[in-house]
């Protein structure tokens, strides 16, 4: 069974990471087409022995990738085409006009709490997806919340399949040596809590709201330090950098660019915070931190609360005060609570979200369509 995965782009993100995870289990059955030019994940996927093709465009609104995709369809002769993300899904459906006659599957990785918050081009492609949602054989969502939201916008309910993210539990696991190395590198004292926030610089990630909440924790006298990691986060004069200065948090907050080895950084955290306002489906960073034995504090966006179960903390989205209060509860008693929750989080990932089990669910789904 040859599967051609069509994705919007291959920059570092949750959808891109899950695609890489999935094809790592079926490298001989997978080929990847990215509408956009090569991104940071291209090399990793190719290193698995999976061919990667690119549409040669810099903007997803361009249609100049269509002739390239037509050539790839003829070359690969896939048994199944699977789209990833909105533009990738639409591109997958267009393959029926490019010589492909087999089943098409969409993969939606985003939740839409309020479509007015999305940028204009994203709103347009979401609406277009609703009109075209009868074309795929199945629509895979990585969260129930996202499925319901999209179906309220007109996506075909009968096509729904809920498929959680899967995680490489050998790569992401507790690592005391990595913890010591990173905490020493960051200058974290043994009696200080290190809070991690991982995500690209984007309003939906709510970095500014988190920094306001963190300022409250500092004002409370809590022994807390924070590291924020992600594309654009450490950009000079960027919003996070400016907010750290304005809130006088330069001695408490480290801003770092995205890393290709997050499994070495997670174990250094005592708590992961995901303060997002919208857009999350099944947030990878939460699952990865849990796999590393680090409990998470999340806002109630997408299926984040479902993912952590009773191993973490949930705050109301959009309220720095609510996030700060939740963090006080998490950090208040003693470090032993966080360690116990971290062990429970790891156990939950092993039980519910291993990459092997999720990959087999994908295999069963796709095999049933051929």
Whether residue 334 is predicted with pLDDT greater than 60 in this model: the reply is: no
DSSP secondary structure of 245-298:
HHTT-TTTEEEE---S-HHHHGGG-SEEEE---S--SS-HHHHHHHHTT--EEE
Whether residue 213 is predicted with pLDDT greater than 80 in this model: the reply is: yes
Do 76 and 125 belong together in one domain?
yes
> Three-state SS for 188?
coil
Per-residue confidence band for 362, with pLDDT thresholds at 50, 70 and 90: very high
Do 190 and 288 belong together in one domain?
yes
Q: What is the CATH number of the domain that holds 196?
A: 3.40.50.2000
Gap between the Cα atoms of 282 and 164, Å rounded: 7
Per-residue confidence band for 94, with pLDDT thresholds at 50, 70 and 90: very high
Give the model's pLDDT for residue 197.
98
Do 194 and 339 belong together in one domain?
yes
Give the model's pLDDT for residue 217.
97
Do 283 and 211 belong together in one domain?
yes
Token duo for residue 167: 């995680």
User: What percentage of the chain carries pLDDT values higher than 90?
Assistant: 90
Closest CA to 311 of 282, 328, 289, 333: 289
Expressed in angstroms, the distance from the first to the final Cα of the chain is: 8
Do 294 and 347 belong together in one domain?
yes
Q: Is residue 147 part of a domain?
A: yes
Do 159 and 208 belong together in one domain?
no
Which tens digit of pLDDT belongs to each residue from 223-279?
999 999 999 999 999 999 999 999 999 999 999 999 989 999 999 999 999 999 998
Do 320 and 208 belong together in one domain?
yes
User: What percentage of the chain carries pLDDT values higher than 70?
Assistant: 99
Which tens digit of pLDDT belongs to each residue from 124-158?
999 999 999 999 999 999 999 999 999 999 999 99
Whether residue 332 is predicted with pLDDT greater than 90 in this model: the reply is: no
Whether residue 220 is predicted with pLDDT greater than 90 in this model: the reply is: yes
Mean pLDDT of the chain: 95
Give the model's pLDDT for residue 33.
98
Q: Is residue 342 part of a domain?
A: yes
Give the model's pLDDT for residue 335.
60
User: For residue 248, how far is the Cα from the chain centroid?
Assistant: 30
Do 61 and 192 belong together in one domain?
no
Do 235 and 317 belong together in one domain?
yes
Buried b (16+ CB within 10 A) or exposed e, 104-135: bbbbbbbbbbeeeebeeebeebbeebeebbeb
Distances (CA, A) of 121 to 127, 162, 198: 10, 26, 25
Do 327 and 183 belong together in one domain?
yes
Do 158 and 224 belong together in one domain?
no
Mean of the pLDDT values across residues 216-225? 96
Number of domains in the chain: 2
Closest CA to 20 of 42, 38, 35: 42
Give the model's pLDDT for residue 168.
95
Q: Is residue 191 part of a domain?
A: yes
Do 207 and 226 belong together in one domain?
yes
Per-residue confidence band for 114, with pLDDT thresholds at 50, 70 and 90: confident
**Taking the model in full, what pTM does it have?**
0.86
User: What residue numbers bound the domain in which 57 lies?
Assistant: 3-166+354-367
Mean of the pLDDT values across residues 179-197? 96
Gap between the Cα atoms of 196 and 185, Å rounded: 15
Q: Is residue 171 part of a domain?
A: no
Q: Is residue 46 part of a domain?
A: yes
Mean of the pLDDT values across residues 351-360? 96
């Amino acid at each position: 069974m040859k599967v051609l995965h069509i994705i919007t782009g291959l920059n570092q993100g949750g959808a891109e990471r899950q695609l890489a995870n999935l094809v790592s289990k079926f490298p001989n059955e997978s080929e990847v087409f990215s509408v956009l030019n090569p991104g940071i994940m291209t090399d990793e996927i190719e290193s698995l022995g999976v061919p990667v093709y690119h549409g040669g465009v810099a903007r997803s609104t361009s249609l100049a990738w269509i002739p390239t995709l037509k050539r790839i369809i003829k070359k690969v002769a896939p048994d199944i085409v699977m789209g990833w993300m909105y533009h990738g899904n639409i591109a997958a459906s267009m393959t029926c006009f490019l010589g492909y006659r087999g089943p098409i599957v969409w993969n939606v990785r985003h939740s839409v709490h309020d479509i007015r918050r999305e940028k204009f081009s994203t709103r347009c492609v979401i609406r277009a997806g609703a009109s075209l949602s009868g074309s795929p054989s199945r629509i895979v969502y990585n969260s129930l919340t996202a499925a319901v939201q999209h179906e309220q916008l007109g996506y075909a309910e009968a096509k729904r399949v809920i498929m959680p993210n899967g995680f490489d539990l050998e790569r992401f696991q507790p690592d005391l040596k990595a913890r010591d190395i990173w905490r020493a590198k960051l200058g974290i004292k043994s009696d200080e809590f290190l809070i991690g926030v991982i995500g690209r610089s984007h309003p939906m990630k709510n970095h500014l709201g988190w920094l306001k909440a963190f300022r409250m924790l500092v004002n409370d006298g809590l022994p807390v330090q924070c590291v924020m990691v992600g594309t654009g986060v450490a950009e000079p004069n960027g919003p996070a950098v400016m907010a750290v200065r304005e809130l006088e948090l330069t001695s408490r907050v480290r801003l770092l660019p995205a890393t290709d080895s997050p499994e070495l950084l997670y174990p250094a955290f005592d708590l992961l915070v995901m303060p997002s306002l919208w857009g999350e489906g099944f947030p990878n960073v939460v699952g990865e931190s849990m796999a590393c034995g680090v409990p998470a504090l999340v806002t109630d966006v997408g299926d984040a609360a479902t993912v952590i179960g009773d191993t973490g903390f949930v705050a109301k989205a959009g309220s720095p005060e609510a996030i700060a209060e939740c963090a006080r509860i998490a950090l208040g008693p003693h470090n032993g609570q966080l360690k116990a929750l971290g062990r429970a989080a790891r156990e939950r990932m092993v039980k519910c979200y291993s990459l092997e089990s999720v990959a087999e669910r994908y295999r069963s789904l796709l095999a049933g369509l051929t």
